[in-house]
Structure 1
Amino acid sequence: MIQYFFSNWKDIPDTYQWKAYSLEYWIWILILITLIVIMAKIYKKSNHKDAILKGIAIVIVIQEILKDILHYYAGSLELEHLPLHLCGISIFMVCWHAFSRNKLNTQFIYALTLPGAIFALAFPNWTQYPIFHFSSFNSFTIHTWLIMYVVIQLYGKTLRPNFKDLKYTFIFTLLLMIPIYFLNKIWNTNFFFLNTPSPGSPLMFLYQLFGNGYVIALVLLFILLWILIYIPWMETYENKSYQKNRELS
């Protein structure tokens, strides 16, 4: 199996493909969760938190570039490998956030990067490669680094999601989807999965149910998701505001 580590997926026998939720998959997930937990504890105790965040961001960018270089030499580089999927955009947002934080990138990494990367690992779409292939290695790890970047800040209490600032991320994402939609039409790509969901993902249910209205249903689904993941933080802010007003009275 290792002999196909740098091979074009078209040259790899189907017998070397792996299946989601196989033993190999769960071993990968267990290792990656362990890494996130360890890194979260290190980050919380560290006096060099900014350096850790910048280090993770730089690793993600370098790995993304290396991935495309390896695909080029394997003869498997395609337009779909451009960083225009949600997790690809997240690479730039994480790097931006690591070096210059603002309301937009702070809410983006919590509202989109975190759930997007978790969804990618939960429903992997790179099973055409062997489990021991550079593309599989990259897909497992780069999504983990994106999750790690957000989780360690939540655990270390250096990132506070704020529902009031989510509007910046919402507007930015809608504006971003417009050119990506037309690029998909021109290049016959499926960035952001605007044409159809990833094969095997639960979003196929939305596509089968709504057809051409799938994207609208997807946006509504994300709004529902945001409400759910922001509710705990809204309660936290309300409790702090109540305590502050009580102290002043």
Structure 2
Amino acid sequence: MINNLKYFFRGTPDNYSFPIMSTMHLVILLVALLGTLLIIKNKDSFKDSRLDKYFKITVVSVLSVQQISLYLWYAFSGYFTIKESLPLYNCRIAIIFTILAFVTNKNIFKNVSCYWGLIGSIFALLFPSTDPFNFPHYTLLSFFIGHIVMLWASIYLLYVEKYPITKKSLHSILIFTNVYNVLIYKFNIIFSANYGYLNAPPFNVDLLLNMKPFAYTILAASVFNVSMILFYITVKHIYKNSSIEINEINFTYC
């Protein structure tokens, strides 16, 4: 038992790359999709305050345990590096903001959770970039649980709470994202890191690898911005077709 736990939480990498579109990957995507569809289909059931409360408590609990255990593992496994182990990846920040969104009910946290959380979780689940540990390993479990629950939380905010995706919310997230990108780009240069994948692509794609570093950074930053604009357009279109009335409102980001 002890040896199995040591193996599960081992800190020596296996130089393993998670196989995209493998059977395991497809099962994980199916679980994420089914959970998403269940939330959307049963969105009216969450009007029951108890169910709403239980869902939020579950999301906050799971994501909190996932985040705390992740950094404890980094600290005690010997795998910690400033280049990879800080909560500076977009999805890690989005998970923290999702926890705060459900705890505080503040729009500033909900906005990041919806934009970064939904976009980031979809990209991460479709093209997982995991730590180099073969299954079974804690980081694989942590990666997929964190992103799946964050996806469901974002869907909940959009479909159950009907969080308004407005021009003001888009403007706010674009400013937040680009300021963050500038700061993290400089941090990456100083510490030879690659948070946000702003300094190098996460996959070996010849076209991207052959680009000049700054040109790639501009491309990566542009993808961030375009993704959020497309998200805004898509959600507004879905709201309109679903006859969901979302009024432009004045946000109080406090």
What TM bracket, shorter-length normalisation?
0.7 to 0.9
CA distance in structure 2 between the aligned counterparts of 1:140 and 1:65, rounded to whole angstroms: 15
Secondary structure at 2:132 match in 1: coil
Equivalent residues in 2 for 1:1-249, closer than 5 Å: 4-10=7-13, 12=14, 18-40=18-40, 44-46=44-46, 47-48=48-49, 49-79=52-82, 80-126=84-130, 128-200=132-204, 205-206=207-208, 208-209=210-211, 211-235=213-237, 236=239
Deviation digits for residues 205-225 of structure 1 (CA, Å, limit 9, x no counterpart): 456446422222223223332
Question: Which residue is equivalent to 2:252?
Answer: none
TM-aligned CA deviation for residue 156 of structure 1: 2.0
Give the helix-richer structure, 1 or 2: 1
Segments of 5+ residues of structure 1 without an aligned counterpart are 242-249
Cα 1:158–1:234 change in 2 (3 A) is closer
Structure 1 length-normalised TM: 0.79
Cα 1:172–1:22 change in 2 (3 A) is same
CA distance in structure 2 between the aligned counterparts of 1:167 and 1:101, rounded to whole angstroms: 20
TM-aligned CA deviation for residue 31 of structure 1: 2.7
Deviation digits for residues 149-175 of structure 1 (CA, Å, limit 9, x no counterpart): 011232325323113321111112222
Runs of 4+ in 1 over 6 A off after TM superposition: 237-241
Name the amino acid aligned to 1:151: I
Structure 1 stretch 230-239 or stretch 19-28: which is displaced more?
Answer: 230-239
Secondary structure at 2:199 match in 1: coil
Structure 2 length-normalised TM: 0.78
Answer yes or no: is the 8 Å Cα contact 1:97–1:106 preserved in 2.
Answer: yes
Structure 1 stretch 217-226 or stretch 190-199: which is displaced more?
Answer: 217-226
Aligned-residue identity in percent: 22
Segments of 5+ residues of structure 2 without an aligned counterpart are 246-254
Deviation digits for residues 175-209 of structure 1 (CA, Å, limit 9, x no counterpart): 22333223222322111112112124x7x745644
Cα 1:18–1:176 change in 2 (3 A) is closer
Cα 1:233–1:199 change in 2 (3 A) is closer
CA distance in structure 2 between the aligned counterparts of 1:173 and 1:147, rounded to whole angstroms: 19
Aligned pairs, number: 235
Cα 1:192–1:127 change in 2 (3 A) is closer
